[in-house]
Amino acid sequence: MKLKKWIVFNDVHFPFQDETCLSLMMQLGRKIKPDGYVILGDLVDFYTLSSFDQDPERAGTLQVELDMAMDFLGKLSKQNPRSRIVYVEGNHEKRLQKSIWKKPQYYSLRALTVPALLELPRMGIQYQGARGKRAARFKLGDLFLYHGSIVRKHSGYSAKGMYDKHGVSLMCGHTHRDGKYTIRTEDGHFAAWENYCMCSLDPEYVDFANWTQGFSVVTLKGKRPYVEQIPILGNSFIYGGTVYE
């Protein structure tokens, strides 16, 4: 049986990205040539559309954020042309929708969507948005991938909250931390993972961020997922006995 590998990452938050983290992940991509990548939301921060207080010096920088994200996606798609790329909507992508809903006269403009603004169809990138009340998601075998909607105080607690909400094996972003929760029931063995972040650990909008950088490799044996969480510590990580730095 052929094993399939996917790299899953999230919470890049352009323009608050960590370039070293992105470079390290792409190094591994060049080495293992994954079958695909899943971006679990919040690729773009959409900072200027936020309802929170903003730095006035960043006014009018939305196009800068979009250009940075498009440049990164272009490099990712060219690096391994055969690798599929799936982009799952996060809460920061929803900022765009909420902004449009505040001005209904713009709602019918097809150009004001994340896929259109980032030119995802041109790059062959699949976008997974929410459907009605169902959260945006993508499945790798028996593993459900969500951006996430629950944040609890300690690492791993949010993963448990997501499992309690959905009742399936899953991976989520959103918390900017890593963590794992497992449970065995009469229906089988289930697990839920929190999947780090790829943004700066020193953003301008918080005093101190209790976050961890990293990403995951999901290997599928048929539909059964095997998850390897990869923390990036001190601008390096180890995978398969090789140090990436």
Reported as half-sphere exposure (CB side, CA atoms, 13 A), residue 83 has a value of 26
* Nearest alpha carbon to residue 47 among 82, 103, 92: 92
* Nearest alpha carbon to residue 211 among 186, 185, 179: 179
Domain range list for the chain: 4-244
The answer to whether the bond into 15 is cis (omega within 30° of 0) is: yes
C-alpha–C-alpha distance, residues 73 and 174, integer Å = 20
* pLDDT tens for each residue of the chain, 245 residues long: 899 999 999 999 999 999 999 999 999 999 999 999 999 999 999 987 755 545 545 545 789 999 999 999 999 999 999 999 999 999 999 988 777 666 565 555 567 889 999 999 999 999 999 988 889 999 999 999 999 999 999 999 999 999 999 999 999 999 999 999 999 999 999 999 999 999 999 987 788 999 999 999 999 999 999 999 999 999 999 999 999 99
By residue count, the chain amounts to: 245
CATH superfamily of 4-244: Metallo-dependent phosphatases (3.60.21.10)
